[in-house]
Amino acid sequence: MAEGNAGHGIHPGSGSQKPVVRHCRSIHNGGDGLFVCWRVKHGQFEGNALLDNDNAGISIGHKDTDNLFRDNRIEGNRKTGVNFRDETAPMGAHRNVFERNVILDNGGPAVSIRGHHEGLIFRQNTLGNSQPLGGKSIGISLSPGAEPIRSEDNHFENVSKPQPNSPRADCRRTRLVPGIRRSQYDSVPLRLLESPLRRIWRDRWLEISVFSSTFGHKKTP
């Protein structure tokens, strides 16, 4: 139990190799519930409760690679549920897997990805809000220039924008529960988003979509 600390709750230190954090509680701390420090690799973070912290539920970034986050509750944190810190590609948190986590009722997006992090997988997670908020809320947010992610069999609850706010995402078999609307990018064929030439086609499609939306016409499929 890490409760009521002035800073972070749980903090695997710089250079930690194969850390295992299971069935821990990190609640009501002044920083992040779980702050993954620099160069934390091949860790397993499973069955933890990261609740009601003043910053993010999980913060991960500088060369934190090949970690598994499974069956965690990440709820009620004041800012983002999971925050990927802004890093350049050589310093990114690559090949991390988030599986079967519950990421609900956080102050920002359920997941915020800033900077360059490659090979991220989100599978069978529940993301969003337990109750409708009546305003805009985001399931997964990607900053401009962020690398593609892979999203499989995730459940988005009560979010106005479930999919990434960038078309550079591979979102497979995503399930949307009642009360939310689909992202504007859902109908873009993913195979057209892979190469620079195809990206030109995508940008042209977005221009047509914006033009059509502005003048009240049906969007081009």
Whole-number mean pLDDT of the chain? 79
Within this chain, do residues 159 and 173 fall inside the same structural domain, yes or no?
yes
Whose tokens are 């995730």? That residue is 154
Within this chain, do residues 136 and 170 fall inside the same structural domain, yes or no?
yes
**Burial status of residue 17 (CB atoms within 10 A of its CB: 0-12, 13-18, 19 or more):** exposed
Model confidence over 19-68: pLDDT tens digits? 999 999 999 999 999 999 999 999 999 999 999 999 999 999 999 999 99
Within this chain, do residues 211 and 151 fall inside the same structural domain, yes or no?
no
pTM for the model: 0.75
Within this chain, do residues 70 and 91 fall inside the same structural domain, yes or no?
yes
User: Whole domain around residue 197: which residue ranges?
Assistant: 187-221
Model confidence over 80-137: pLDDT tens digits? 999 999 999 999 999 999 999 999 999 999 999 999 999 999 999 999 999 988 777 8
Within this chain, do residues 114 and 156 fall inside the same structural domain, yes or no?
yes
Within this chain, do residues 147 and 192 fall inside the same structural domain, yes or no?
no
The side-by-side arrangement of strands in the sheet containing 140-142 is: 34-35, 58-60, 82-87, 111-115, 140-142
CB within 8 Å of 52: residues ≥ 6 apart:
27, 28, 75, 76, 77
Whose tokens are 């499973």? That residue is 46
Number of domains present in the structure of the chain: 2
Within this chain, do residues 95 and 203 fall inside the same structural domain, yes or no?
no
Within this chain, do residues 175 and 194 fall inside the same structural domain, yes or no?
no
Within this chain, do residues 13 and 114 fall inside the same structural domain, yes or no?
yes
CATH number of domain containing 70: 2.160.20.10
Within this chain, do residues 144 and 176 fall inside the same structural domain, yes or no?
yes
Does 6 score more than 90 pLDDT?
A: yes
User: What pLDDT does 90 receive?
Assistant: 94
Model confidence over 162-205: pLDDT tens digits? 765 444 455 554 444 433 333 333 322 333 333 444 444 434 43
Within this chain, do residues 176 and 202 fall inside the same structural domain, yes or no?
no
Within this chain, do residues 213 and 163 fall inside the same structural domain, yes or no?
no
User: What pLDDT does 64 receive?
Assistant: 96
- Residue 155's pLDDT band, with cuts at 50, 70 and 90, is very high
User: What pLDDT does 42 receive?
Assistant: 96
